[in-house]
């Protein structure tokens, strides 16, 4: 059954509000997984690239992220084409870090992570795992409050990306042009 755009937006908003109830700050995403709201500074004769929302208008990507249901509803109302939502990483109270295990590059990122765990003597705790439309996995971790974990791509091992401060994770229940993101049963 085809899901109409409006229905997809309503579903995405519902999932986003439920994430916000758990203390996760969210923004609406388009089908391309990018922030749904365009920068209000687009086309400015003197672009203020350093504005992170101080101008008071929406459209600053992850800087728009909020846990306030009224604000989230406003953001989605301004982006009726949104079909998903992003969860901002690195923010209190959870200081979310996402370990993004890719599968489409032909590398076995899960094996790479197990190898890192053995070599550095850490274990991955039982936590939320989100499966991506391409079969990849996002492992959610709570970071230390006093350390800023940056984003990185393939730095720890091939196919392993880290989503940290200034980054976001596509939330479970999001629809993108490649399919739906969902939690692995029993992990949410
Ligand atoms: Zn601005």
Q: Which of 37, 3, 35, 10 is nearest to 179 (CA)?
A: 3
Our count of domains for the chain comes to 1
pLDDT tens per residue, range 117-154 = 999 999 999 999 999 999 999 999 999 999 999 999 99
What stretch of H or E contains 7?
helix 5-21
For ligand 1, the distance from its centroid to the CA atom of residue 40, given in whole angstroms, is 6
Structural domain includes residue 104: no
Structural domain includes residue 174: no
For ligand 1, the distance from its centroid to the CA atom of residue 75, given in whole angstroms, is 15
Average pLDDT over residues 97-115: 87
Structural domain includes residue 165: no
pLDDT computed for residue 3 by the predictor: 63
Mean pLDDT of the chain: 92
Structural domain includes residue 9: yes
Domain span holding position 36: 5-88
Structural domain includes residue 108: no
pLDDT computed for residue 185 by the predictor: 86
Structural domain includes residue 163: no
pLDDT tens per residue, range 27-72 = 999 999 999 999 998 888 776 668 899 999 999 999 999 999 999 9
For ligand 1, the distance from its centroid to the CA atom of residue 49, given in whole angstroms, is 8
For ligand 1, the distance from its centroid to the CA atom of residue 84, given in whole angstroms, is 23
Tell me the torsion sign for CA atoms 176, 152, 154, 49. positive
């Amino acid at each position: 059954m085809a899901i109409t755009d409006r229905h997809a937006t309503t579903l995405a908003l519902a999932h986003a509000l439920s994430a916000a109830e758990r203390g996760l700050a969210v923004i609406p995403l388009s089908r391309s997984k990018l922030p749904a709201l365009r920068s209000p500074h687009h086309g400015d004769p003197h672009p203020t690239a350093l504005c992170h929302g101080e101008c008071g208008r929406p459209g600053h990507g992850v800087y728009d992220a909020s846990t306030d249901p009224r604000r989230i509803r406003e953001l989605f109302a301004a982006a009726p084409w949104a079909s998903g939502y992003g969860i901002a990483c690195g923010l209190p109270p959870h200081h979310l870090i996402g370990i993004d295990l890719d599968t489409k590059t032909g590398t076995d990122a899960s094996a790479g992570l197990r190898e890192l765990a053995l070599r550095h003597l850490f274990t991955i705790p039982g936590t939320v795992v989100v499966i991506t439309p391409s079969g990849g996995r996002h492992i959610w971790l709570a970071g230390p409050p006093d350390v800023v974990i940056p984003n990185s791509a393939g730095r720890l091992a091939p196919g392993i990306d880290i989503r940290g401060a200034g980054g976001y994770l596509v939330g479970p229940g999001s629809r993108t042009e490649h399919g739906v993101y969902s939690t692995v049963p029993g992990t949410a």
